[in-house]
Amino acid sequence: MQIPKTPAAIAFLLGLTAMAMAPKTTWSQSDEAPLYTFKSLVDLTATTVKDQCQTGTCWSFSTTSFLESEAARISGEVVDLSEMASVRYTYPLKAEMYLRHHGLHQFGPGSLCHDVLNAMGSYGVVPEFAFTGLDKGESEYNHGEFDAVLAAAVKAMSEQRVLSDDWRDAVDGICDAYLGKLPSSFQFEGTTYTPTSFRDHLGLSASNYVSLTSFTHHEFGESFVLEVPDNFSRGTFLNLPIRDLARVVQNALEQGYTVAWDADVSEKGFSFRNGMALMPAEGQKAELWKRVVEEEKVTQESRQEAFEAHLTTDDHLMHIVGLAEDQNGETYFVIKNSWGGANPYGGRQYISMAYFKAKTIAVTMHRDAVRTKKSR
């Protein structure tokens, strides 16, 4: 996991996954020019880059960004939605799953894209100003204490022989203390909305989205519950060959649909500072960031081997917002990260096709984007 040294030593001890926190990276225009140059092929509507700061909520930042682009595509309205509303809604559900399994279940801040969709379906969405998840005077998120307190509380509850009738109130009390109470209504441009009516106003519906993956321990063409720790709500994923999955994502972007992306970012080739992700071939790794490198020939078998060896894990979620081409004509996905803007591309990164094929855990997109065929 990409976890900074401070203040989240607590988080590491809790064994959290899918929660890559923002590395404190600095970059300026005086740094050396990048080795790679890019030409934009597709650049879809997206809100500004955010910073999840010291939290494990990349899943909400990425999927909320995805929903913002979906709202813009569907309704034409570009709205900054609250990431912390989904977090506040989801944490009690995670606590209940942990307690129902007598403490023998994953518990931590990590989740997946479908948990934001589930929150949208049941609670709705709200603008950022209606629920920031910050106390007055705070400008940055730091969930180190919150995560530790909540984890300790549910662990203590799970160790009781009889579960108290008050456990929900206790969990809600902790979440309210650190994040605040979810609003039941708010004003937006002179109109009063509830979270569900605002969701409907933006044209969003949780049932319109599908998650896809690519692993050989299940049959292609079938849906299955993906076996990663942060799939606490047991979401299902349609299984496709990796070559087809890459084509589906590229086609979606070309048709105007952005895509939420769950991936492993622990490789040396994933560099926020350089604004890229590459999968250098054996013998090329020492030359990484010194010159343009040859990349690994990724196969279905090689990505499966890495998954089975736990070398590919769901440690970060991001938002794919475009396509680009480098100086050699190679195609890249353009992602919007949630680690702030301190890299050469304002917080965006260029992801090579080799990296995508090797290190993708799953993607989430509008179901029409899967069905749409590019016209020739």
pLDDT per residue rounded down to tens, the chain (376 residues): 333 323 333 333 333 344 566 555 554 444 555 799 999 999 999 999 999 999 999 999 999 999 999 999 999 999 999 999 999 999 999 999 999 999 999 999 999 999 999 999 999 999 999 999 999 889 999 999 999 999 999 999 999 989 989 999 999 999 999 999 999 999 999 999 999 999 999 999 999 999 999 999 999 999 999 999 999 999 999 999 999 999 999 999 999 999 999 999 999 999 999 999 999 999 999 999 999 999 999 999 999 999 999 999 999 999 999 999 999 999 999 999 999 999 999 999 999 999 999 999 999 999 999 975 544 3
Whichever domain contains 182, its CATH number is 3.90.70.10
Residue pair 179/88 in contact (Cβ under 8 Å)? The answer is yes
Q: What is the DSSP string of 230-269?
A: T-TT--EEEE--HHHHHHHHHHHHHTT--EEEEE---STT
CA gap 302, 320 in Å, rounded = 23
Amino acid at 321: V
Q: What spatial distance separates the first Cα and last Cα of the chain, rounded to whole Å?
A: 42
Domain assignment present for residue 376? The answer is: no
Q: How many CB atoms lie within 10 A of CB 240?
A: 19
Domain assignment present for residue 81? The answer is: yes
Domain assignment present for residue 2? The answer is: no
Half-sphere exposure of 326 (CA within 13 A, CB side): 19
CA gap 166, 152 in Å, rounded = 16
Domain assignment present for residue 4? The answer is: no
**Could you tell me the residue range of the domain that residue 35 belongs to?**
9-371
Residue pair 274/34 in contact (Cβ under 8 Å)? The answer is yes
Instruction: Pull the structure tokens for residue 42.
Output: 């597709």
At 193, is the secondary structure helix, strand, or coil? strand
Residue 373 phi, psi (nearest 5):
-105, 135
Query: Domain total for the chain?
Result: 1
Domain assignment present for residue 1? The answer is: no
Domain assignment present for residue 364? The answer is: yes
CA gap 198, 296 in Å, rounded = 46
> How open is the CA angle 25-80-341, to the nearest 5 degrees?
15
CA gap 361, 120 in Å, rounded = 23
